[in-house]
Amino acid sequence: MSFPSFFLLLSFTTLLNSISLLSSPYLSPTTFLPDYQNMLLNFKIFIYKPNAALTYNSPQETLFYTSLRNSPFVTQNPEEAHLFFIPFSSDLSTTAVERVVKGLRTELPYWNRALGADHVFLSCSGLRVGADRTIVELNKNSVQISCFPTPAGMLIPHKDITLPPLATLHAPIRNTTSVLGYFRHRGAEESSLAKELSDDPDFLVESEPSDEITYADRLSRSKFCLFDYGIDVSGIGEALRFGCVPVVIADRPMQDLPFMDVLRWQEIAVFVGSGGGAKELKLELTRAGGEGYERIKILGVEASRHFVWNESPQPLDCFNTVMYQLWLRQHAIRYVPRE
């Protein structure tokens, strides 16, 4: 491990030791960092040779794969690997993926040892469920790395994980908050909630800010950033970084949030349904903006380091936190199809 990496980890160790269990964004504050350091020292992934040059549809898929391929986690010895990565392009058909995995099953011994439970694949669009045994095992057993938010029905929460979107803003602007809630709906058909909120002077509602500087200013001046799960949630990481507490509007449990087995999401964000309309939402935010608001905000800023993508991965950034989630999935339970 390089000296800068060691220094950053040492600094984070000091920080964690100074934070009580009740004021940490982590699910396991006392074990997270030691386990993370253990991962850095020991985790190994074997990448199968792709059948063709790879192309991915999203920038986070491309950056993750590039980072993985160039990382010290990769081993050329499959016998020392904890997990096996199956590379295939985003536009590959389910039939073509089936052929890839069947080749691994017949030509190498590693898939059959656990029916693919120690294998990983990257697909933000998901795979169509087929009757073929190979695709069933790939979907049910192997770890799918998807993108947040995932297509409906394309994620199995106990084993699959999601990549946060690429953040475009990295330098917070510290302003005094002057807006209760900021709602960016990204040009989608404006919801009835957005129309109601646009009439309230305590909320700033717009399709898209004019530029990144304006967007950064919006985040810095707002106490809460509103995200409609059915429209756009891509800015959650940026909101956390700027101290704008995310408010996720969803009418069903969210099982695809990034880093769900690392972060205590209930401590860094607010979750509300859409049924109460603007009036009920404002009451919820008024309550959340009371005595405990600063704590939520501070924990969110602390957690935001995990949402930062870097061309060259840094300790505790997005790439390494995704790798930590894979490290936690070394001992998956395999699915055995009925005969």
pLDDT in tens, 110-123: 999 999 999 999 99
Reported pTM? 0.89
**Is 94 or 262 the better-scoring residue by pLDDT?**
262
Q: What is the pLDDT of residue 75?
A: 98
pLDDT band at residue 211 using 50, 70 and 90 as cut-offs: confident
Q: What is the pLDDT of residue 194?
A: 85
- Per-position b or e across 204-226, b if 16+ CB within 10 A of its CB: bbbeebeeeeebbebbbbbbbbb
**What is the helix, strand, coil percentage profile of the chain, to 5?**
40, 15, 45
Q: What is the pLDDT of residue 28?
A: 93
Mean pLDDT in residue range 29-58: 94
* Structure confidence by residue, pLDDT tens digits, 274-327: 888 899 999 999 999 988 999 999 999 999 999 999 999 999 999 999 999 999
How many percent of the chain have pLDDT more than 70? 87
Average pLDDT, the chain: 87
CA-nearest of 219, 259, 238, 242 to 298 is 242
The string of DSSP codes covering 187-251 is TSPPPHHHHHHHTSTTEEEES--SSHHHHHHHHHHEEEEEEETTT--TTHHHHHHTT-EEEEE-S
